Amino acid sequence: MVRHIVFMKFHDFSLAQKAKEKLLSMKDHIEVLQDIEVGIDFSRSPRSYDLALVTTFATKEDLETYRIHPYHQNKIVAWLKEIGTETKVVDYEI
């Protein structure tokens, strides 16, 4: 199994809720996505990112399928780039 975690920081924190809704919509469109969790940071410390996305896949190949999936690229990644989201990613096997 593979875990894919993305931390996001928005120029406008009010975008976090909209991002959460968009990210959760992937569950209905990307078959290889086994589990998804999205959390909005409540501490708002200077070290914090605004949102965490945690996804789970069966294999590294499924993670790659997700990465290039049209819904992910066109509906999620494109929007995050459009609004200027800063991201950090960690991928690991579990």
Q: What is the reported pLDDT for 94?
A: 96
Q: What is the reported pLDDT for 41?
A: 97
Please write the tens of the pLDDT for every residue from 6-43: 999 999 999 999 999 999 999 999 999 999 999 999 99
The pTM of this model reads 0.94
Domain boundaries, the chain: 2-93
Q: What is the reported pLDDT for 25?
A: 98
CA-to-CA separations, 55 to 6, 91, 94, in angstroms, rounded? 9, 10, 12
The two tokens of residue 23 are: 């990210």
Q: Which of 56, 3, 51 is nearest to 27 (CA)?
A: 56
The two tokens of residue 56 are: 């789970």
CATH architecture of 2-93: 2-Layer Sandwich (3.30)
If you average pLDDT over residues 50-59, what whole number do you get?
A: 98
Alpha-carbon span 3 to 87, nearest angstrom: 16
